[in-house]
């Protein structure tokens, strides 16, 4: 019995050691989760989080498709949640495996198609250096037909959805347009803008390139990116964010667990942790981002809830459009357009 007891103790110790050695691989945008929360999780569970950053949906999809990367958790947009869920790449979620989902409104959960925890939401807009661009951009015209002083000072974003938001909104068209004539007109605006573009890389990536950083004054990006840019610049308020008067694309990111994760239970537990009211509020406060959790929203300070750069006014949101899954034809046409833009710089 004594020997048996020793074996039981040794087995328990080995299991505990294995648990503490576990690492979850998280595929996520850079600076998109509060490191203090991750540290708290690791201290509490012994399970560490390894972040793998991507800077475009295409890059994320390529990594997610590689089984050798052993991804456990991933940030996808609402379209990606539907697509990857339908393909069996990400796990179906419910109140049973992620109890924290009960705190999220039905419309948020529906947007993630029950394949993700509603995470952060926001808009696509114009990021600008307030020390150079002293007049806040009010229209997509300021980006697509820029002032001469902005020549080679604009950072666009060669994502097949986001790069078309400015021209399509100026044309009064749907951001999900796939007809040839509309995309051709959008191409005309992008081609005319190209001589003013310094880079087509995502601004969070390009700002870290010493050869580009000092020359980017205006950029296409997401609400919240200004806080990351200011952090990297080490100067609060340097970068600001504006939603043009014509309206824009509203987005929602979903936090998902991969169906093939060998550490699925730990991944689901982390999702439940990050989605809890206290953690979701702390995450939103640290990143200056709008949370999709109702109880977490009530925990945030009034000053944050009243900040229009974080929670845009209703009249702004009413003009916005929402993404839909693009047709194969539209994706192919958009990629062809993007691939030719460098020829006009």
Residue ranges in 87-206 assigned as alpha helix (H): 106-111, 141-144, 165-170, 180-193, 203-206
DSSP string covering 133-144: --S---STHHHH
CA distance 64 to 28: 11
Q: What is the CA radius of gyration of the chain?
A: 22
Residue-level pLDDT at 213: 94
Q: What is the pTM for the complete model shown?
A: 0.88
Q: Burial of 134 by CB count in 10 Å (0-12 exposed, 13-18 middle, 19+ buried)?
A: exposed
pLDDT at 1: 34
- The pLDDT value recorded for residue 21 is 59
Kind and range of the H or E element at 155? strand 154-155
- Which domains are present in the chain? 2-121+251-309 (3.40.190.10), 122-250+316-344 (3.40.190.10)
Spans of the chain below 70 pLDDT: 1-21
3-class secondary-structure state, position 91: coil
């Amino acid at each position: 019995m004594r020997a048996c007891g020793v074996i039981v103790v040794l087995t328990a110790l080995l299991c505990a050691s294995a648990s503490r050695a576990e690492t979850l691989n998280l595929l996520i945008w850079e600076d998109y989760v509060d490191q203090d929360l991750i540290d708290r999780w690791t201290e509490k569970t012994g399970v560490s989080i390894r972040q793998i950053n991507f800077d475009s949906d295409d890059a994320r999809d390529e990594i997610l498709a590689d089984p050798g990367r052993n991804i456990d958790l991933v940030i996808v947009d609402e379209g990606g949640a539907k697509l990857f869920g339908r393909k069996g790449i990400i796990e179906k979620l419910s109140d049973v495996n992620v109890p924290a989902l009960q705190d999220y409104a039905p419309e948020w959960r529906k947007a993630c198609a029950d394949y993700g925890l509603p995470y952060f939401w926001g808009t696509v807009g114009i990021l600008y250096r307030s020390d150079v661009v002293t007049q806040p951009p009010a229209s997509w015209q300021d980006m697509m037909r820029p002032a001469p002083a902005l020549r080679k000072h604009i950072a666009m974003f060669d994502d097949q959805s986001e790069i078309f938001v400015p021209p399509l909104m100026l044309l009064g068209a749907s951001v999900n347009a796939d007809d040839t004539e509309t995309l051709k007109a959008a191409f005309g605006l992008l081609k005319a803008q190209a001589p003013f573009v310094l880079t087509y890389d995502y601004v969070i990536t390009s700002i870290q390139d010493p050869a580009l950083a000092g020359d980017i004054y205006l950029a296409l990006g997401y609400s919240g990116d200004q806080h990351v840019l200011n952090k990297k610049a080490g100067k609060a308020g340097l970068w600001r964010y504006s939603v043009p008067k014509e309206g824009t694309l509203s987005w929602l990111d979903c936090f998902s667990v991969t169906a093939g994760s060998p550490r699925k239970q730990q991944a689901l537990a982390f999702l439940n942790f990050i989605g809890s009211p206290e953690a979701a509020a702390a995450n939103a406060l640290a990143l200056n981002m709008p949370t999709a959790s109702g109880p977490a929203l009530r925990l945030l300070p009034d000053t944050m809830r009243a900040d229009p750069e974080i929670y845009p006014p209703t009249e702004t949101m009413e003009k916005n459009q929402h993404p839909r899954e693009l047709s194969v034809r539209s994706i192919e046409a958009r990629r062809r357009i993007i691939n030719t833009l460098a020829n006009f710089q």
